[in-house]
């Protein structure tokens, strides 16, 4: 007995899958053996369907009818068609993972937002294009679409670029367009998270579902069902029944239950939680309280769950783990509809070869271009950047690339508006063929100012690590009036006694076989071990650098200062308040080097951490961000790097 068979008389059972699942045979076999529906976890969200290069390069041609691409979606659609398994379409309209340029005049992020009529035309033609492609090439594969996702926030309609350009009726308009072009029999859904919260339940009912029902535009409500172990299932049941009472179909669209404790007792509790949850779903269906027609888990295996990154701790939220092993929760779910003695032990015999992924790292290169914003800084040179947070409290950072979990993202969560610029010569920014000689860092620093100008940012904090901090030194010299403070992680700078070539280029050129060990071993700190493992995984999945990237030798910063004396003399002239964050065990930017730098700077605070190394900015994220936050607030208060007591301490 499997899941899809056990629940076949009640509702479809599905799972979300990613490109990595799709390219791992054991994962697709588990999907086909246990489920009769699936959702694409990411690759059919708006950013993957909107052709950024075509639209941004020919805005006049595509201004009202955006050019679409389906290279990300096709592998899933082909899989669905070849294996006769149904799909949920996720998602057409969302405030997240929709590129900002789509909302701008001429698809130019520096030109301001497009007007309502332009955006209505873009919205209609985008929805028309997606539905027409799918229905024309893959008829009957997608049985339901999440037309709009997560439009409610903080007791009202969520403020987003959709409401800024079209208005709060963008939801109605999206459903009108979807209804106009959808094939007969395909259901249209509104989807949201935390629907069990009473205030959110009421908002969704009154602001979304009832107006759409009155206009006969909607077929169903999606309850995402991302739960935690302490989530009230009584409140969940109330929402299920309230949504069911509207007469709409109900889909459980993204089910998981976060649990960071893998102990046997905790997994027993997870199994009981799932049993209670599925009992509610089965009873609601059987008693006619809610017409549930589909239930989808948000991925197949614990190891693939998005929650580990989202919650910043390893999560064990699903029914399967490891080599397709069924957890106790799997059996507890089956027990809600099947007698216990009729349930078989799930022991798949997939060969070892099936657990080897055929996933291509080039996927991440393609995705980077979609995630990043882009500005043209000079003819032939486009710089890409990521944006985290909002508001006028800007932090700019520039490097070859950024890890998805680091100081930049944490500072954005702390209220800062962080712009992370990929320097020229490195994907997804423009490649370069010119060798700037000793001026590479001056060019990089100039590019930071050009991006700031394009984004209308006057003054900002600059933050950089390693070579990114090297760019900061050139900013301090070339544009000190624009930078209110400098947060320098493992910044050197090196004297020419150590040579002019960067460690990176020494490795690429074969001068050294590999860089020195960047980080010391960690003593009993699972959180940091996990972060290092994540960093190693990211590096391992990175594609081979383009030959044009390998050819870039930007050297070391401040190459024109030929002696240690000249370098220290220059550091004495920097007036910008500086926070240096360093590591005792850093073999590149050594404590001695940073102490020399701190002594030379007139306005500097130096903080050194033990038991960490050159990758400190992804190792001790919260600690460094706490220091950075205190530094920024103090600099913004009175320009000092230290706090001046309002009441002097008494002298003894």
**325 and 411 part of one domain:** no
Mean pLDDT computed over 207-236: 98
User: 286-295 pLDDT, tens per residue?
Assistant: 999 999 999 9
Residues with Cβ < 8 Å from 547, sequence gap 6 or more?
Answer: none
Cα separations in angstroms, 384 against 124, 371, 404, 419, 538: 28, 9, 15, 10, 20
Predicted confidence (pLDDT) at residue 363 exceeds the cutoff of 90:
no
Q: Is residue 174 part of a domain?
A: yes
Interatomic CA distance for residues 274 and 333, integer angstroms: 6
pLDDT score of 366: 79
Check 41, 150, 321, 386 and give the catalytic one: 150
pLDDT above 90 coverage of the chain, percent: 78
Cis-peptide, bond into residue 91, ω within 30° of zero: yes
Q: Which residues pair with 351 in a beta bridge?
A: none
Confidence of residue 501 (pLDDT cuts 50, 70, 90): low
Domain shared by 150 and 257, yes or no: no
Kindly report the average pLDDT of the chain as a whole number: 93
Paired tokens of 220: 């169903």
Distance of alpha carbon 257 from alpha carbon 232, whole angstroms: 12
Is residue 367 a part of any domain in this protein?
no
Annotation marks residue 150 as catalytic: yes
Look at residue 249 and tell me whether its pLDDT is greater than 90.
Answer: yes
Determine contact, residues 327/284, Cβ cutoff 8 Å. no
Instruction: Provide the pLDDT confidence category of residue 278 given band limits of 50, 70 and 90.
Output: very high
Among 265-274, 319-328, 631-640, whose mean pLDDT is lowest?
Answer: 631-640
Q: Is residue 254 part of a domain?
A: yes
417 pLDDT higher than 80: yes
Q: Which domain holds residue 206?
A: 1-35+193-359
Looking at 140-263, list the stretches that DSSP marks H as alpha helix, in order from N- to C-terminal side. Answer: 161-165, 170-181, 198-203, 210-214, 233-244
How does residue 401 score in pLDDT terms, banded at 50, 70 and 90? confident
Q: How far apart, in whole angstroms, are the C-alpha atoms of residue 192 and residue 157?
A: 12
Any idea what the CATH number is for the domain that residue 556 is in? 3.40.50.1820
pLDDT of residue 546: 84
- Examine the domain organization and report whether 538 and 632 are in the same domain: yes
Q: How confident is the model at residue 305 (pLDDT cuts 50, 70, 90)?
A: very high
Co-location of 121 and 51 in the same domain? yes
Residues in the chain: 652
With respect to residue 646, please indicate whether it lies within any of the assigned structural domains. no
Contact 178, 127 (CB under 8 A): yes
Residues forming beta bridges with residue 228, ordered by sequence position = 258
Say if residue 555 is exposed, middle or buried (CB neighbours under 10 Å; 0-12, 13-18, 19+): buried
Q: What is the dihedral of CA 574, 471, 616, 553, to 10 degrees?
A: -140
Stretch among 19-23, 428-432, 523-527 having the lowest mean pLDDT: 523-527
pLDDT tens-digit readout, 121-179: 999 999 999 999 999 999 999 999 999 999 999 999 999 999 999 999 999 999 999 99
Q: Are residues 175 and 203 in the same domain?
A: no
477 & 626 share domain: yes
pLDDT of residue 188: 98
Question: Does 431 reside within a domain?
Answer: yes
**Residue 556: pLDDT band by 50, 70, 90 thresholds?**
confident
Token pair, residue 632, equals 């920024």
User: Is the separation of the CB atoms in 73 and 48 below 8 Å?
Assistant: yes
The pairing of beta strand 320-321 with beta strand 325-326: antiparallel
Q: Which of 60, 80, 78, 57 lies closest to 143, judged by CA? A: 80
Q: How far apart are CA 170 and CA 163, in angstroms?
A: 7
Residue 387's closest CA among 454, 443, 442? 454
CA geometry: angle 223, 228, 231, nearest 5 deg: 75
Residue 377 lies inside a defined structural domain of this protein: no
Pair (269, 128) in one structural domain: no
- For the residues 245-264, what does the mean pLDDT come to? 97
**Is pLDDT of 647 > 70?**
no
- Tell me the C-alpha distance between 558 and 574, whole Å: 13
Element containing residue 592 per DSSP (H, E): helix 591-600
pLDDT category of residue 514 using cuts at 50, 70 and 90: confident
Q: For 511, phi and psi rounded to 5 degrees?
A: -65, -40
Statement to judge: residues 511 and 585 lie in one domain: yes
SS3 of 258-304: the string is ECCCCCHHHHHHHHHHHHHHHHHHHHHHHCCCCEEEEEEECCCEHHH
Where among 308, 325, 359 does a domain terminate? 359
Residues 53, 55, 57, 58, CA torsion sign: positive
Residue 476: pLDDT over 60: yes
In this structure, the answer to whether residues 314 and 232 fall within a common structural domain is: yes
Residues 229 and 351 in one domain: yes
| Residue 250, in any domain of the structure | yes
Residue 230 pLDDT class (50, 70, 90 cuts): very high
Give me the pLDDT at residue 649, please: 60
Model confidence at 509: pLDDT above 80? no
Per-residue pLDDT band at 364 (split at 50, 70, 90): confident
Q: In this prediction, what percent of the chain has a pLDDT beyond 70?
A: 97
Q: Give the C-alpha separation, 413 to 269, whole Å.
A: 32
Of 254, 321, 335, 386, the catalytic one is 254
Query: Mind listing the pLDDT tens digit for each residue in 30-69?
Result: 999 999 999 999 999 999 999 988 998 899 999 999 999 9
Please check whether residue 231 lies inside any domain of the structure: yes
Task: Choose one of 168, 188, 208: the last residue of a domain.
Answer: 188
Query: Exposure of 2 by Cβ count < 10 A (0-12 exposed, 13-18 middle, 19+ buried)?
Result: middle
**Euclidean distance between CA atoms 423 and 407, whole angstroms:** 18
**pLDDT for the residue numbered 517:** 77
Number of domains in the chain: 3
Instruction: Look at residue 500 in the predicted model and tell me its pLDDT.
Output: 62
Integer Cα distance of 629 and 407 in angstroms: 11
CA gap 98, 163 in Å, rounded: 13
Q: Pick from 164, 188, 212: which residue ends a domain?
A: 188
The DSSP code sequence of 509-559 is TTSSSSPPP-S---SS-HHHHHHHHHHHHHHHHSPPPPHHHHT-----S-T
pLDDT class of 449 with cuts at 50, 70, 90: very high
pLDDT beyond 60 at 8: yes
In a 10 Å sphere around its CB, with 0-12 CB exposed, 13-18 middle and 19+ buried, how is residue 181 labelled? middle
Same domain, 417 and 336: no
CA of 315: how far to CAs of 192, 258, 304, 311, 534, in Å? 22, 6, 10, 8, 14
Model pLDDT, residue 498: 64
- Asked whether residue 352 falls in the same domain as residue 471, the answer is no
Instruction: Give the CATH number of the domain where residue 232 resides.
Output: 3.20.20.80
CB atoms within 10 A of CB 234: 9
Q: How confident is the model at residue 497 (pLDDT cuts 50, 70, 90)?
A: low
Q: Would residue 60 show up in a list of annotated catalytic residues for this protein?
A: no
Mean predicted confidence (pLDDT) in 344-353 = 95
Q: Closest Cα partner for 324 from 26, 88, 534, 105?
A: 26
């Amino acid at each position: 007995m499997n899941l899809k068979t056990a629940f076949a008389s009640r509702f479809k059972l599905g799972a979300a899958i990613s490109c990595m699942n799709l390219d791992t045979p054991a994962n697709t076999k588990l999907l086909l053996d246990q489920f009769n529906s699936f959702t694409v976890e990411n690759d059919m969200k708006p950013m993957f369907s909107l052709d950024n290069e075509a639209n941004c390069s020919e805005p006049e041609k595509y201004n009202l009818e955006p050019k679409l691409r389906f290279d990300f979606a096709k592998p899933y659609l082909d899989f669905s068609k070849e294996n006769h398994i149904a799909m949920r379409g996720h998602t057409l309209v969302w405030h997240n993972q929709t590129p900002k340029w789509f909302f701008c005049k001429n698809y130019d992020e520096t030109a301001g937002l497009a007007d309502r009529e332009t955006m209505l035309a873009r919205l209609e033609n985008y929805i028309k294009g997606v539905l027409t492609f799918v229905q024309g090439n893959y008829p009957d594969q997608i049985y339901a679409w999440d037309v709009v996702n997560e439009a409610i926030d903080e007791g009202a309609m969520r403020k987003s670029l959709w409401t800024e350009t079209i208005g709060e009726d963008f939801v109605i308009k999206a459903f009108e367009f979807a209804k106009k072009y959808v094939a007969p029999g395909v259901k249209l859904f509104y989807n949201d998270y935390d629907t069990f919260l009473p205030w959110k339940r009421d908002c969704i009912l009154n602001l979304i579902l009832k107006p759409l029902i009155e206009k006969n535009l909607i077929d169903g409500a999606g309850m995402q069902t991302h739960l935690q172990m302490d989530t009230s299932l009584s409140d969940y049941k109330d929402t299920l029944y309230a949504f069911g009472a509207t007469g709409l179909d109900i889909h459980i669209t993204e089910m998981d239950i976060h649990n960071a404790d893998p102990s046997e007792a905790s997994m027993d509790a997870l199994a009981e939680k799932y049993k209670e949850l599925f009992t509610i779903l089965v009873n609601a269906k059987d008693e006619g309280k809610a017409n549930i027609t589909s239930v989808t888990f948000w991925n197949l295996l614990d190891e693939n769950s998005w929650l580990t990154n989202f919650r910043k701790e390893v999560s064990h939220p699903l029914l399967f783990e490891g080599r397709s092993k069924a957890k106790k929760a799997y059996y507890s779910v089956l027990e809600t509809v099947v007698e216990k003695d009729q349930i078989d032990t799930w022991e798949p015999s997939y060969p070892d070869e099936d657990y080897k992924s055929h996933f291509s790292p080039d996927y991440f290169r393609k995705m980077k271009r979609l995630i990043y914003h882009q500005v043209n800084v000079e003819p032939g040179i486009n710089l890409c950047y990521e944006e985290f947070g909002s508001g006028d409290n800007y932090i700019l950072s520039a490097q070859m690339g950024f890890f998805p979990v680091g100081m930049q993202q944490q500072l954005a969560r702390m209220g800062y508006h962080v712009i992370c610029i990929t320097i020229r010569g490195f994907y997804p920014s423009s490649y370069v063929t010119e060798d700037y000689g000793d001026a590479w860092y001056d060019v990089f620093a100039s590019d930071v100012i050009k991006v700031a100008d394009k984004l209308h940012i006057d003054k900002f904090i600059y933050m950089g690590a390693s070579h990114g901090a090297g760019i900061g030194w050139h900013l301090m010299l070339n544009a000190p009036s624009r930078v209110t403070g400098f947060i320098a992680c493992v910044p050197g700078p090196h004297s020419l006694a150590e040579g002019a070539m960067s460690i990176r280029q020494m490795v690429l050129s074969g001068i050294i076989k590999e860089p020195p060990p960047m980080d010391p071993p960690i003593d009993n700190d699972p959180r940091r071990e996990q972060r290092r493992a994540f960093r190693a995984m990211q590096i391992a999945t990175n594609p081979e650098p383009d030959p044009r990237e390998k050819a870039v030798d930007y050297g070391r910063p401040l190459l024109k200062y030929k002696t240690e004396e000249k370098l220290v003399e220059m550091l004495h002239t920097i007036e910008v308040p500086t926070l240096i964050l360093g590591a005792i065990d850093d073999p590149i930017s050594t404590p001695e080097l940073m102490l020399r730098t701190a002594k030379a700077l007139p306005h500097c605070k130096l903080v050194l951490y033990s038991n960490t190394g050159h990758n400190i900015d992804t190792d001790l994220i919260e600690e460094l961000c706490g220091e950075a936050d205190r530094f920024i607030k103090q600099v913004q208060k009175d320009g000092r790097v230290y706090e001046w007591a309002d009441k002097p301490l008494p002298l003894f």
